[in-house]
Amino acid sequence: MAVKMYKYMVTIHEMDKILYDSQRQGRISFYLTNTGEEAAQIGSAAGIHDDDLMYGQYREAGSLLYRGFSIEKFMHQCYGNAKDIGGGKQMPIHYGSSEHHFVTISSPLATQLPQAVGSAYAFKREKNGRIVLVYFGEGAASEGDAHAAMNMASTLKCPVIFFCRNNGYAISTPTTEQYGGDGIGGKGIGYGIHVI
């Protein structure tokens, strides 16, 4: 398993270089890298079952790659060509695959959070043992949807993991200008959610 994880970390890193250069050359319209976050993506995807549902934001290509989404499918999606699963109708890096239980990424920050809680609540009601893993950045944690989602998840006891990747910047806004307090974890504690 460790070799597989390492292979995918290197693969996503190399894919990033190619697609980032393509964006800078004007070949694709938009691209955000996963640089420095490869292990977090791969490790979290490896820690759940293949039929558990994942909601991503912009930097979770590694999680989808780990589940078997091919490099070719990433390329088709980023270039928006006819072989793209979405038919070229979505922005680059807005991946999704029902086959791999990965909900298509939405551009507005934090909208995936209440959606993920809704899916987790459905799983709870179905008693199917599945969970939801939802990724977001510290910038999304300041959005109203984040607070609503955490409150719903806590009060409804939903099987959801909120995975905040705090890289110190919400795009270009440093965390010192983003929020007060002791960080993102404190928000979860305030809602009665276990945090690490």
User: Mean per-residue pLDDT for 147-172?
Assistant: 92
**Is residue 196 a part of any domain in this protein?**
no
| Long-range Cβ pairs for the range 173-180 (8 Å, 24+) | 173/139, 175/138, 178/138, 178/139, 178/142, 179/138, 179/141, 179/142
Q: Is the pLDDT of residue 168 over 90?
A: no
Question: What CATH number is associated with residue 110?
Answer: 3.40.50.970
pLDDT at res. 174:
84
Neighbouring-strand partners of residue 174: 169
Q: What is the pTM of this model?
A: 0.94
Q: What is the dihedral of CA 100, 194, 136, 134, to 10 degrees?
A: 20
Q: Is the pLDDT of residue 44 over 80?
A: yes
Alpha carbons 21 and 155: distance in angstroms, whole number: 45
**Is residue 113 a part of any domain in this protein?**
yes
DSSP state of 157: T
For 35, the domain range is 2-190
**Is residue 114 a part of any domain in this protein?**
yes
pLDDT tens-digit series, residues 124-143 = 999 999 999 999 998 899 89
**Is residue 164 a part of any domain in this protein?**
yes
Alpha carbons 98 and 167: distance in angstroms, whole number: 28
**Is residue 195 a part of any domain in this protein?**
no
How many structural domains does the chain have?
1
